[in-house]
Structure 1
Amino acid sequence: MGRRGHHRAHLQPRRLAHGSRRRPRGDRARLRPGGAAAGRARSVHHVRRDPPERDVARRRRVHRAPRLRDLHGRLAHVHRLRRRPAVARLGGADQPVLHVRRPLLVDDALPGARDRVARRRGQPRRRRHPRGLRAVTAPVLDVANLEVAYRVRGVDRPVLRGVSMTVDRGESYGLVGESGCGKSTAALAVVRYLPRNGKVQGGSVAVAGRDVLALRGRELRGYQARTVSMVYQNPGTALNPALRVGSQVVEALTVLGAARGEARERAHEALARVQIADPAMVMHRYPHQLSGGMQQRVVIAMALAKDPALLILDEPTTGLDATVEAEVLDLVVHLQRELHTAVVFISHNLGVIARMCDRVGVLYAGRLVEEGPVEAVLHEPRHPYTVGLLRCIPRGGVRKDHGRLDTIPGFLPSLGARLDGCVFSDRCALADDRCRSEEPPLETVGPGHDARCFHHRRALELPRAEAEDLGRATVDRSGTPLVRFDGLGKVFRQHGHDVPALVEVAGAIWPGETLGLVGESGSGKTTLARALLGIVHPTAGRVELEGRVLAPRFQKRTRDELRALQIVFQNPDSALNRRHSVRRILLRALARLGEVSGDDAERRAAELAERVRLSERTLTQKPVQLSGGLKQRVAIARAFAGEPKLVVCDEPTSALDVSVQAAILNLLVELQAERGVSYLFISHDLGVVRYISDRIAVLYLGRLLELGLADRVFDGPHHPYTEALLSAVPTIDGGGRDRIRLAGDVPSASSPPSGCVFHTRCPRTLGRVCEESEPPLREVATGHLMRCHIPLEELRASQAQPAATPPAS
């Protein structure tokens, strides 16, 4: 027998580095040959020899059952990360405390049930028994043949049809497709948040090795609280408006078992981790006191505070400005690299997917029709649906005079529709009889690249859905402008302080022209639009319509003036009366604006519906029965009921899929070419703004910083703020401009910076002159205005070089 070690206390480091020894070892002591009883030996087989740790002791026992070996896993495994020693060649943890050598059997330490270290210390030296090892190839998320249905009026209507996907640790997986294809349903099934009428009818979902669909009660709540997190599209609805931000983050941590004091400390750390400059101040604020980007940072902080194995982001940047979107995406990338979290990213913005994801899956009608590396899927698509989605996006500086955007004809199959063949066959120009009768399998078309199509080799030959030629309204800027606004200002009174939303803004819109309006949230875009419409009473300046001064408030304007200026809102759900049918909505608009009724109104309503491509059946439906694209078409038809001269389009496509967005943009361009209508187009999507706009105005803190032709504003030289906005736009091609990260948030409008209002964030500031003197709005080229101290040629030269990020003030 080897030397026994319980007769004295040998002082040793508390922990050793993995595999190290406390002293040089000679030959191991030997025992006589022996073995297990024959009966017990026959009951086990195929066991790895010489396991690295002792078997787990069962409850109320020091050792496991005698002479019965454990059936260790047969896959390759890796050990969890161990601590490094504080001193080279000593121990596995940074612990200077010395502990006692435990009793030995033969020559190895043996765990005991009631043994204590010397001097009766309360905690055993040895670690807890191992919980098991992790397979090298085990994914964090493993979805196999998932089938989900919603029960509607007593009938199960399939939504997901045999969806399979895997996401590894530290990997980002994108999920794209039109609204209604099943993206959010797949995410909710993984989180186990399906609505009451939702049911998983087949397949499996495993997260971190756990069968999610088998979890019940406390186990399910623990899984949702600790293992998986989800960030939703609208952070405003995800946060409780009646509670301070700090209370909500603390609550998320106390649910995990943290004491309240510890939870407050961890909440502060979580907010600091998402790059909130003053976490203490933010914790004392209510959600409505934060910007949209700041709200989304808080939601992400709450989601990552529990260090989840899987993070699901469902349209997290929809509705955010380009700069805020870029900051949120940078934050997600940084945190993922730090925490090695598996991420599922759901978005209709393919530029965001190209920037964020390693692999991407394309869903259509509940089927995964294409999957593979993001570069392969977005640059060499092998399914006609993916090709159609990519063609819908305004890319490479394309503008409306270059031709109409491609669209995908037809609509998604209705919920639960029976699909015998390929799910995309009804909308595919390559489909044949085989496609309509037989469902194609998921075939490998490249390394890690799969497509569900019989004609995947011809996918890029998909015929164009729209003709290339497109009429365009002629813009004559030599005469009187349609709308002119001069010295326009607006000051709001909030909490006893004056908050200037517009400061001496001047400009004009000519007949048949589209003026694009861009800038971050709080820059004054919507306030300017409402001032033109008379919804907001300007405190300074005036608005003219065809040379006539308009009353500041719409209540005092004539019917003809009201008819001339109309608006299409961002959210048609809140803009349309949900109790009225589409026909009644149009008839009411015609009665109030067009002054027609009876048969004439019915005829005009039918003409409007036909012009915006609404079917006769749609006229009988209510808004709740329509898709987002159809509802926006109804809103456009209503705006054109009075034959307007200027239509304000306030983010009309921000919440729409790329295919629906392309159709709406084509419709707006067609109506402009036919009727000579002008648009004031507000959007944070700069690609869309460039496509539809003739000129572009850039606002910041209520000041007009730049105004000029779209090509000049985009191609440069441009104002440093415009440069930063353009650099923040994610593109599918992956190239483009060097990213310029603006320091800090937009300053408060109630106390704007002195001098140039942009100097606190400007990457090209000149120093004292920018800090003390406000630059005038000057013409730097024909029709091109800019508010900047830097001469145009210096801007041209400097913008050819990367800009430095200014230090946070």
Structure 2
Amino acid sequence: MSAPSPVVAPASPEPRPERHPALELDRLSVDYRVRGRDLPVLKDVTLTIRRGEAYGLVGESGSGKSTVALALQRVLPANGRISSGTAKVRGYDIATLDPHELRKVRAREIAMVFQDPGKALNPSLTIGRQMSEVFEILGASRGDAWTRGEEMLARVRISGPSRVMASYPHQLSGGMQQRVVIAMALAKDPALLILDEPTTGLDATIEAEVLDLVQALRREFGASILFISHNLGAIAGLCDRVGVLYAGRLVEEGDAREIFARPRHPYTAGLLRCLPRAGIRKGEGQLDTIPGFPPPPGSIPVGCVFAPRCGLARDRCRTETPPLYGVGPGHGSRCHFHDEVHELPHVGTVAAVAETHGDAPPVIELEHLSKTYMLGSRPIYALRDVNLTLGAGETLGLVGESGSGKSTLANLLLGLVEHDDGGAIRIDGRTVPPSVKRRTREQVKALQIVFQNPDSALNRAHTVRHLIGRAVKKLAGLTGKAREAEITRLVEAVRLTPRQLPARPRQLSGGMKQRVAVARAFAAAPRVVVCDEPTSALDVSVQSAILNLLTELQRERGVSYILISHDLGVVRHLSDRIAVLYLGRIMEIGPASAVLEGPHHPYTEALLSAAPTITGERGTRIRLTGEIPSPLNPPTGCVFNTRCPRKFGSICETEEPPLATDGDGHAIRCHLPRESLGRVGGPPPDPRHDPAGA
């Protein structure tokens, strides 16, 4: 190995002139040393982010996105190093700074907003103390730092900043926590703001608010943004330009709208085709997938790194590394056959879905289901008087913001929490006990769940064979050869191979782990599977494969799903019917087409308007003011009246509207008549309409 280059400190600690771009990466390469070998994780990455520009970095897990963020702050793991090239932030060459200057640059020039604000904030300190620390580090006195902290919270559109300053992180919602973290990041007026999956896990309305806030603050502060995300809709809505990373290489770069409208690399086109598309209803076709898996670092030294998974690959792709071809103004593609990307064959095929029999008795019936918790002597109404049914082979999508009651409903159904007296849960017409501990084996087998995060759901100490086999033994009662045969059958059903059976979860990709979780749920031959955000933590390519898998298993086994998700694209793709919950009440329920196309409840309308699209356009955005009220003190009348943009009079505050159903099973809980409610593609409803003359 050659001797390391000497570290040279900059001549002056003063900020560089504004002529320097916020970020310059010039042929940046990063290696990780593993078992005595240097493995290239980034290879010759070149990009520039100009002052005030938002740049999106997309790609599957393991593509190198987070490594870029770590390298430009010089916080790589101990076995990582910049092997060649440069990373400059406002003219400062990060690799050549001494520790003192590096601290100054990190303190003043770079700020980062992480995926989980709950982990970025210290739970033992008030928000005020954490906000003040930022200004104290920049030289402000403690009193001045507190004042400036309040002012900064106000600038990120937090109402009542003095109250928030006195709060601890756990007392704030996820969206509010993210606003606080953004305020802390922007407090030092950084040259570069790095957003690392800042909206993953947030509701659609909160995600839209956070992105709108970042866009407004970007104009106000003139900050440059590096936005790292697998949410292509969020990238399209915020970013000017986009870079697509695959296996450590920048394979395509250009204007965001140009790339999403006319991709010129097969990988980019594949990612876009994986997204659920509006207008494609359940059963009309599978989502496209990208076959295979990303290669291990350094395993493809020659040729195109995407060739093993590419539908256009030829001999030249495996022997000649493609340069970054100019395919348009500011648009480059690292593909020899970039002119043929539009001819890329589709991977998805038309797939039938399980038949639903409208005249058959429902698999699940929920009757007057409620859940009330007690905080001292005060009741907390988590769920109120829910009535719904689920047919054989049917998927019911549950949507609504955090705190709306979706997870409470799932927990009651599974018997993990007992419902209030007066309610009933029936499976195949038979009432089951509220608690899972009092249910029979057959009743437990009938209801299974796939959790959001397979890392938390799977015991990392056990092999795949043990994880699936234990469920087969406990729930199906099989042992010996019958147990092994059933394990093999389940593994094949979720499109894994016997090679994965000896592996432990840490040795599997995110998609593989979720497939193991699905196999374990199906070990009991369930009647109903609750899918609780089953794809929210997955890349779009893995998400499409899991959604196709769930569709195939439903077709083969006639199982019913209850799908909980804040991703309306996923809900649209899988659901036969959709229920919209708010503060424990069903505000709207009906066939998926009716709920999505309208007329909508005002709350449903706001949720749909907040959903991002890869065109970067949301249409008319309906903004909800305030947060969901506390279930300790719910509003009188319509529970949505404190945030409703269509509220028209006192009736909304004094009378709870009934859940009125039309002849097609589409029910809406609203005082407004249906002809005044919103509809996709229709004229905007008249907000002045008052049926009560209020």
For normalisation by structure 1, the TM-score amounts to: 0.82
CA distance in 2 between counterparts of 1:284 and 1:417 reads 52
- AA matched with 1:754: T
CA distance in 1 between counterparts of 2:348 and 2:234 reads 26
Mapped pair 1:402 → 2:284: yes
SS of the residue aligned with 1:426? Answer: helix
CA distance in 2 between counterparts of 1:217 and 1:402 reads 58
CA distance in 2 between counterparts of 1:803 and 1:283 reads 39
Matched residue, 2:366: 485
Q: 2:670 aligns with which of 788, 802, 805?
A: 788
CA distance in 1 between counterparts of 2:574 and 2:294 reads 27
How is 1:189-204 mapped onto 2 (pairs within 5 angstroms)?
Answer: 189-204=71-86
SS of the residue aligned with 1:655? Answer: coil
Which structure 2 residue ranges, 5 or more long, are not aligned? 1-11, 689-694
Mapped pair 1:538 → 2:419: yes
1:231-260: CA deviation from partner (whole Å, max 9, x where unpaired): 111111111112121111112222222211
Mapped pair 1:653 → 2:535: yes
Matched residue, 2:641: 759
SS of the residue aligned with 1:158? Answer: strand
Q: How many angstroms does 1:132 deviate by?
A: 9.2
Residues 597 and 679, structure 2, Cα contact 8 Å, conserved in 1: no
1:532-591: CA deviation from partner (whole Å, max 9, x where unpaired): 000011114111001100100000000000001000000111100000000110110101
SS of the residue aligned with 1:401? Answer: coil
Mapped pair 1:172 → 2:54: yes
Matched residue, 2:403: 522
Q: How many angstroms does 1:135 deviate by?
A: 6.2
For normalisation by structure 2, the TM-score amounts to: 0.95
Matched residue, 1:561: 443
Q: How many angstroms does 1:446 deviate by?
A: 0.2
CA distance in 1 between counterparts of 2:297 and 2:480 reads 37
- AA matched with 1:185: T
SS of the residue aligned with 1:134? Answer: coil
1:150-202: CA deviation from partner (whole Å, max 9, x where unpaired): 12222221110110110011100000000100001101111222111211111
Matched residue, 1:583: 465
Residues 392 and 659, structure 1, Cα contact 8 Å, conserved in 2: yes
SS of the residue aligned with 1:402? Answer: coil
Residues 678 and 684, structure 2, Cα contact 8 Å, conserved in 1: no
Q: In structure 2, do the counterparts of structure 1 residues 641 and 131 end up closer, same or farther at CA, with 3 Å as the change threshold?
A: closer
Q: How many angstroms does 1:778 deviate by?
A: 1.2
Matched residue, 1:105: none
Q: How many angstroms does 1:407 deviate by?
A: 0.2
SS of the residue aligned with 2:283? Answer: helix
Q: In structure 2, do the counterparts of structure 1 residues 377 and 579 end up closer, same or farther at CA, with 3 Å as the change threshold?
A: same
Residues 290 and 309, structure 2, Cα contact 8 Å, conserved in 1: yes
Mapped pair 1:144 → 2:26: yes
Q: 1:771 aligns with which of 636, 653, 667?
A: 653
Residues 753 and 760, structure 1, Cα contact 8 Å, conserved in 2: yes
1:663-707: CA deviation from partner (whole Å, max 9, x where unpaired): 000000000000000000000000110100000000000000000
How is 1:409-488 mapped onto 2 (pairs within 5 angstroms)?
Answer: 409-467=291-349, 469-488=350-369
CA distance in 2 between counterparts of 1:768 and 1:470 reads 50
Q: 1:670 aligns with which of 552, 555, 568?
A: 552
The answer to which of 365-374 and 592-601 deviates more is 592-601
How is 1:179-218 mapped onto 2 (pairs within 5 angstroms)?
Answer: 179-218=61-100
Residues 740 and 803, structure 1, Cα contact 8 Å, conserved in 2: no
Larger Rg: 1
Matched residue, 2:7: none
Q: In structure 2, do the counterparts of structure 1 residues 496 and 268 end up closer, same or farther at CA, with 3 Å as the change threshold?
A: farther
RMSD across aligned positions (CA)? 1.7
Mapped pair 1:226 → 2:117: no
Matched residue, 1:597: 479
CA distance in 1 between counterparts of 2:150 and 2:15 reads 34
- AA matched with 2:280: V
- AA matched with 2:628: V
The answer to which of 283-292 and 361-370 deviates more is 283-292
Which structure 1 residue ranges, 5 or more long, are not aligned? 1-128
CA distance in 1 between counterparts of 2:358 and 2:79 reads 58
- AA matched with 1:554: V
CA distance in 1 between counterparts of 2:134 and 2:684 reads 41
Matched residue, 2:9: none
The answer to which of 732-741 and 387-396 deviates more is 732-741
How is 1:722-761 mapped onto 2 (pairs within 5 angstroms)?
Answer: 722-761=604-643
Q: In structure 2, do the counterparts of structure 1 residues 494 and 437 end up closer, same or farther at CA, with 3 Å as the change threshold?
A: farther
Mapped pair 1:388 → 2:270: yes
* Count of residues in correspondence between the two structures: 676
Matched residue, 2:182: 300
Q: In structure 2, do the counterparts of structure 1 residues 460 and 131 end up closer, same or farther at CA, with 3 Å as the change threshold?
A: same
Mapped pair 1:134 → 2:17: yes
CA distance in 2 between counterparts of 1:504 and 1:401 reads 32
Mapped pair 1:502 → 2:383: yes
Residues 56 and 228, structure 2, Cα contact 8 Å, conserved in 1: yes
SS of the residue aligned with 1:642? Answer: coil
CA distance in 1 between counterparts of 2:194 and 2:365 reads 47
SS of the residue aligned with 1:156? Answer: strand
Matched residue, 2:509: 627
Residues 371 and 420, structure 2, Cα contact 8 Å, conserved in 1: yes
Q: In structure 2, do the counterparts of structure 1 residues 753 and 366 end up closer, same or farther at CA, with 3 Å as the change threshold?
A: same
Q: How many angstroms does 1:226 deviate by?
A: 1.2
- AA matched with 1:313: L
SS of the residue aligned with 1:493? Answer: strand
Q: How many angstroms does 1:655 deviate by?
A: 0.8
Matched residue, 1:617: 499
CA distance in 1 between counterparts of 2:88 and 2:215 reads 24
How is 1:679-718 mapped onto 2 (pairs within 5 angstroms)?
Answer: 679-718=561-600
Q: How many angstroms does 1:396 deviate by?
A: 2.2
Mapped pair 1:329 → 2:211: yes
CA distance in 2 between counterparts of 1:400 and 1:447 reads 39
CA distance in 1 between counterparts of 2:25 and 2:685 reads 44
Residues 515 and 546, structure 2, Cα contact 8 Å, conserved in 1: yes
Matched residue, 1:283: 165
Residues 172 and 356, structure 1, Cα contact 8 Å, conserved in 2: yes
Q: 1:318 aligns with which of 179, 200, 204?
A: 200
- AA matched with 1:643: A
Q: How many angstroms does 1:397 deviate by?
A: 2.6
SS of the residue aligned with 1:203? Answer: strand
Residues 267 and 306, structure 2, Cα contact 8 Å, conserved in 1: yes
How is 1:261-280 mapped onto 2 (pairs within 5 angstroms)?
Answer: 261-280=143-162
